[in-house]
Amino acid sequence: MDLPRTPSFRLDGRRAVVTGAGRGIGLAAAAALAQAGASVTLIARTAPEIGQAAGGMTDAEAITLDVSDLPAVAAFFAERPAFDILVNNAGTNRPKAMQEVSEEDFDAVLDLNLKSAFFVAQSCARRLLEEKKPGSLIHMGSQMGHVGGPNRSLYCASKSALEGMSKSFAPDLAPYGIRSNTLAPTFIETPMTRPFLADPAFRSSVLQKIKLGRLGQVEDLMGAVVFLASEASALMTGTSLIVDGGWTAD
């Protein structure tokens, strides 16, 4: 009997780009893709962290780029061969009650988490279309794109919008073999979340909602990134892979 064969999780010969790759989830995503065989370009606003990280990978380069500089983003993608895989990860957060949010806060969070993410994806997709290549766009969402939370109005707004953005990309790009999905983690211990999680009351409230009873680590997302990038998820587009320890199960 000829048994079905598991699609490959390997990414040999693929070109990947990861934004916000200097630390935390972005760095872990870049490492996961490199370990799966991809050639990886790490992007961040500051050079030292990504330079050091790229040096520890087999086939990687570090590029200093501010993804909020949209002309620079367009030029970056236009000057290079198409990337088969995008991890659209750059983002920020300003936790405040909605009544305390300023216009400057709004613009800072939505411009990076949504506007920049849109045009990074657009530039990446355009190059794939020009070269008539399939690809996988992975947008770093959040469980907060699926639920609400106190002091998270801006973050929830941006991540909910990212979900809608990715769903709409899917039918636009599916005829060309380009997939678009989000990865939606719970609270992951990273340099960005560590200051919030240092508050015992906040940490306790988070752990009460994570049914598996622990905070996420970046390693918890690495397999999911490789899955979404690889042929193992070839029939997935326009959906969200929620890695939240059961937070949204209620």
Calculate the average pLDDT of the chain. 97
CATH superfamily membership of 15-249: NAD(P)-binding Rossmann-like Domain (3.40.50.720)
- Distance separating alpha carbons of residues 169 and 184, to the nearest angstrom: 17
Percent helix, strand, coil in the chain, to 5, is: 50, 15, 35
* Mean pLDDT confidence for 26-54: 95
Query: 215 pLDDT exceeds 90?
Result: yes
Q: Could you tell me the pLDDT band of residue 250, with boundaries at 50, 70 and 90?
A: confident
Q: Are 207 and 213 in contact (CB under 8 A)?
A: yes
Q: What local confidence, expressed as pLDDT, does residue 192 receive?
A: 82
Indicate which residue of 76, 77, 118, 155 is catalytic: 155
Annotated catalytic residue 176: no
State the pLDDT at residue 207. 96
Q: How much of the chain, in percent, has pLDDT values that exceed 70?
A: 100
Per-residue pLDDT averaged across 75-95, rounded?
97
pLDDT band at 219 (very low <50, low <70, confident <90, very high): very high
Look-up: residue for tokens 């707004």?
157
Ramachandran area for residue 72 (φ above 0: left; ψ -120 to 50: alpha; else beta):
alpha
Element (H, E) at 17: strand 15-18
Domain ranges across the chain: 15-249
